[in-house]
């Protein structure tokens, strides 16, 4: 018998066709169908043959089979002992050939339209399903025993991670009213995709789901327990220890999640509900609340992978955070954050650290709220600060602090009229302030600089931050070394980034040389100096450009310089620098008078163009001009000096590793 095209075949057809032939004692019956098409599969080149005295051997061959979008060639079903009568088809020991040869048994009874199917792909591995067809629909129950999940790889959508290993045990039940009950245990699951951005290894857990329709709305509830294993899902890298339990509904236009609870081992618990608009493919609403979450575990297991390679990818955290949130109308409507003994520390670069942060922050999108924040201490750019309290006022994305005082070393940093706002492009903020006198000795120790002396105080004009750039409007005034330092046109790009970029102009007036030089193993110099640094540019706090000039301050004051200082200044001038002194008096005098000191450096492309008070014969330049008897002059001849070489000279001088050479 040959059929050219057949739509929606039924098993009953085979019963009606072959049963009478069986009764006539035919030894062979053959059926061929050119193609079959349905919504879920299609087949071409179909042949079916019943053979034997009792027509007890069945062989079905399909040249091309499309099943749920997957293609197979030369598929076949063989049953060497088929029981066939008017109401029943039964095969106890058949074989199914798709991608591999799989032992199969099946049974169908037309009287009650019941069926069963059992696959035994490997020893101890069973995929079985049993059920019945009725006017109300399909009833089916599937049982898995040691089911190898790698067999699912063929059926997954293109582009999805491919399952390479894993075993499933459990049951799946489908009722006529579309109710589904699923209870599966998975162990040793492994998967990956071609990009390497999604992978799992040795994943074990349990999945439970119950779902059913009521008034055309699917109601569901389920639980997923992920006990062990590792999953990398770019950028997240997670290990087992999560449990999610939830219930909800699914309609034509909405996915509703109610009473969801996520537990993460060593982190804490988050309860939430949410609504997803299927028509517009957007999140409608989320309400969320958490227990006290461990910040150390939360950072290491969840946050750190997202921050990898960024500013905050290498931090040490401690303490806990408790959060509640209400999201609606495409925006967060309210948020409450409680922090207890929170600590954050930048381990790699030590740009910042906060210790003992306790806070209650009840933010609202519309209403004005007051936050209570206290900090036990910390450091910024390696400078330590003490305990302070933040009187923060909030209204939407506007934040204000009237006055804030932060203990800084042995003084205080004051911030006044702080205002922060979120614009369409970025965050902006501004404040004014000042610094009461702090010990320069303590400051330089904190910054890892050579030890200096004196006091530092400052008047801070308006400081503003926008588009990742910090600016100072006006002059930033410091009092240090009994003189003043004024910073103008100061801009700092990406201040807490991996490579901050600073530009400014500096003026220094009447700095006490004795306070300055006794800091180092430099020798003694009394007097005052002025300095001008224009076009200053630092990248990652390293100078790449400036025009610097140092010169004695005008005025009448004692001007003396020691032999050690003379030699060290000569060393700064280069190997060819010299100090011309009347040798006769050297053995008797430790210091000399001078009338003027001056030195300049124009830094470009890693090279410092040196200069002094005035040029001298032989392309030299005068650094120290003598005054009195004996007269001393320090002359430099090397006008181009590598910047890093000059820094090394300074370091060696401050360590006392260069011996003065007096000519």
Contacts of 248 (CB under 8 A, 6+ apart): 219, 220, 221, 255, 256, 257, 258, 260
Contacts of 76 (CB under 8 A, 6+ apart): 59, 60, 61, 62, 96, 97
The tens digit of pLDDT for each residue in 271-316 reads 999 999 998 889 999 999 999 999 999 988 888 877 776 677 788 9
pLDDT of residue 183: 96
Q: Which of 189, 185, 187, 230 is nearest to 206 (CA)?
A: 185
Above 90 in pLDDT, residue 577? no
Indicate whether 229 belongs to any domain: no
The CA distance from 563 to 624, in Å, is 12
Indicate whether 228 belongs to any domain: no
Radius of gyration of the chain (CA): 42
Strands (E), 301-351: 315-328, 331-346
The tens digit of pLDDT for each residue in 72-107 reads 889 999 999 998 888 999 999 999 998 889 999 999
Q: Classify residue 381 as left (phi > 0), alpha (psi -120 to 50) or beta.
A: left
Among 458, 480, 502, the domain boundary falls at 480
SS3 at position 18: helix
Among 380, 395, 410, the domain boundary falls at 395
Residues 418, 499, single domain; the answer is: no
Residues 569, 475, single domain; the answer is: no
Indicate whether 154 belongs to any domain: no
| Eight-class DSSP state of 347 | T
What is the number of domains present in the chain? 4
Indicate whether 353 belongs to any domain: yes
pLDDT of residue 381: 81
What is the rounded (10 degree) CA torsion for 17, 22, 24, 28? 90
Residues 603, 497, single domain; the answer is: yes
Residues 439, 582, single domain; the answer is: no
The tens digit of pLDDT for each residue in 310-342 reads 677 788 999 999 999 999 988 999 999 999 999
Residues 607, 498, single domain; the answer is: yes
Q: Which of 52, 115, 55 is nearest to 84 (CA)?
A: 55
Among 346, 370, 395, the domain boundary falls at 395
The CA distance from 451 to 553, in Å, is 24
591-604/632-636 β-pairing: unpaired
Q: Which of 445-454, 521-530, 609-618 has the highest mean pLDDT?
A: 609-618
Phi, psi of 647, deg, nearest 5: -60, -40
**Is residue 477 packed enough to be buried (19+ CB in 10 Å), middle (13-18) or exposed (0-12)?**
middle
- Taking residues 409-438, report their average pLDDT: 90
Residues 496, 610, single domain; the answer is: yes
SS3 at position 80: coil
Residues 628, 496, single domain; the answer is: yes
Residue showing tokens 């003026």: 507
pLDDT of residue 8: 41
Above 70 in pLDDT, residue 24? no
Above 50 in pLDDT, residue 468? yes
Indicate whether 216 belongs to any domain: no
The CA distance from 135 to 510, in Å, is 102
Residues 493, 624, single domain; the answer is: yes
Q: Which of 291-305, 568-582, 648-662 has the highest mean pLDDT?
A: 291-305
Structural contact between residues 205 and 169, judged by C-beta atoms closer than 8 angstroms: no
Residues 585, 554, single domain; the answer is: yes
| Eight-class DSSP state of 153 | G
Above 70 in pLDDT, residue 656? no
Indicate whether 209 belongs to any domain: no
Q: What's the pLDDT band for 600 if we cut at 50, 70, 90?
A: very high
| Eight-class DSSP state of 299 | I
Indicate whether 267 belongs to any domain: yes
Q: What's the pLDDT band for 662 if we cut at 50, 70, 90?
A: very low
Of 260 and 452, which is predicted with more confidence? Answer: 260
Residues 521, 453, single domain; the answer is: no
Q: Which of 510, 518, 505, 387 is nearest to 440 (CA)?
A: 518
Indicate whether 137 belongs to any domain: no
pLDDT of residue 137: 76
- Show the tokens assigned to 477: 């005034």
Q: Which domain holds residue 406?
A: 397-480
Q: What's the pLDDT band for 498 if we cut at 50, 70, 90?
A: confident
Q: Which of 421, 316, 439, 453 is nearest to 378 (CA)?
A: 316
Per the DSSP assignment, residues forming a β-bridge with 538 are 502, 543
Residues 336, 389, single domain; the answer is: yes
Residues 623, 577, single domain; the answer is: yes
The pTM of the full predicted model, rounded to 2 decimals, is 0.70
């Amino acid at each position: 018998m040959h059929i050219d095209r057949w739509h929606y075949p039924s098993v009953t057809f085979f019963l009606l066709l072959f049963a009478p032939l069986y009764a006539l004692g035919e030894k062979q019956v053959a059926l061929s169908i050119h193609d079959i098409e349905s919504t879920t599969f299609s087949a071409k080149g179909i042949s079916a043959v019943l053979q034997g005295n009792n027509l007890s051997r069945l062989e079905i061959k399909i040249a091309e089979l499309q099943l749920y979008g997957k293609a197979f060639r030369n598929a076949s079903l063989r049953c060497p002992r088929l029981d066939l009568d008017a109401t029943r088809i039964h095969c106890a020991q058949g074989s199914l050939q798709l991608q591999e040869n799989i032992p199969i048994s099946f049974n169908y009874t037309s009287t009650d339209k019941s069926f069963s199917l059992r696959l035994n792909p490997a020893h101890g591995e069973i995929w079985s399903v049993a059920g019945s067809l009725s006017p109300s629909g399909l009833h089916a129950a599937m049982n898995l025993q040691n089911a190898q999940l790698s067999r699912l790889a063929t059926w997954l959508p293109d582009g999805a991670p491919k399952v390479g290993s894993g075993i499933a045990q459990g049951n799946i039940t489908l009722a006529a009213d579309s109710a589904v009950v699923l209870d599966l245990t998975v162990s040793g699951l492994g998967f990956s995709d071609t990009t390497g951005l999604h992978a799992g290894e040795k994943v074990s857990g349990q999945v439970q789901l119950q779902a059913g329709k009521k008034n055309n709305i699917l109601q569901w509830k389920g639980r997923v327990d992920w006990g062990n294993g590792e999953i990398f899902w770019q950028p997240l890298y997670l290990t087992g220890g999560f449990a999610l339990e939830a219930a909800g509904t699914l309609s034509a236009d909405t996915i509703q999640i109610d009473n969801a609870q996520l537990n993460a081992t060593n982190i804490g618990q988050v309860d939430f509900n949410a609504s997803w608009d299927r028509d517009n493919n957007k999140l409608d609403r989320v309400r969320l609340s958490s227990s006290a979450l461990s910040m150390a575990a939360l950072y290491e297991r969840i946050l750190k992978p997202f921050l990898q390679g960024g500013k905050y990818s290498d931090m040490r955290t401690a303490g806990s955070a408790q959060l509640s949130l209400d999201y609606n109308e495409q925006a967060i409507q309210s948020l409450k954050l409680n922090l207890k003994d929170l600590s954050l520390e930048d381990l790699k670069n030590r740009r910042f650290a906060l210790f003992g942060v306790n806070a209650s922050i009840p933010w609202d999108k519309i209403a004005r709220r007051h936050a209570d924040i206290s900090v036990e201490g910390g450091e910024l750019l390696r400078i330590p600060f003490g305990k302070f309290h933040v009187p923060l006022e909030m209204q939407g994305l506007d934040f204000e602090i009237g006055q804030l005082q932060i203990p800084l070393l042995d003084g205080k940093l004051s911030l006044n009229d702080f205002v922060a706002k979120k614009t369409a492009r970025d965050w902006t903020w501004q404040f004014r302030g000042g610094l009461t006198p702090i010990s320069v000795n303590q400051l330089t120790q904190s910054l890892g600089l050579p030890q200096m002396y004196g006091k530092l105080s400052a008047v801070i004009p308006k400081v503003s931050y926008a588009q990742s750039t910090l600016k100072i409007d006006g002059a930033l005034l410091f009092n240090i070394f009994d003189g003043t330092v004024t910073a103008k046109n100061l801009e700092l790009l990406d201040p807490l980034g991996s490579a901050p970029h600073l530009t400014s102009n500096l003026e220094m007036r009447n700095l006490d040389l004795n306070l300055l030089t006794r800091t180092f193993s430099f020798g003694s110099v009394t007097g005052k100096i002025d300095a001008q640094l224009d076009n200053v540019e630092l990248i990652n706090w390293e100078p790449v450009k400036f025009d610097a000039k140092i010169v004695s301050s005008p005025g009448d004051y004692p001007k003396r310089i020691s032999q050690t200082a003379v030699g060290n200044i000569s060393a700064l001038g280069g190997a060819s620098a010299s100090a011309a002194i009347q040798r006769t008096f050297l053995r008797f005098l430790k210091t000399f008078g001078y009338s003027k000191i001056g030195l300049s450096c124009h830094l470009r492309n890693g090279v410092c163009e040196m200069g002094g008070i005035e040029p001298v014969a032989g392309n030299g330049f005068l650094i120290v001009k003598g005054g009195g008897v004996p007269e001393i002059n320090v002359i430099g001849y090397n006008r181009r000096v590598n910047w890093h070489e000059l820094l090394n000279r300074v370091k060696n001088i401050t360590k006392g590793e260069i011996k003065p050479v007096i000519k």
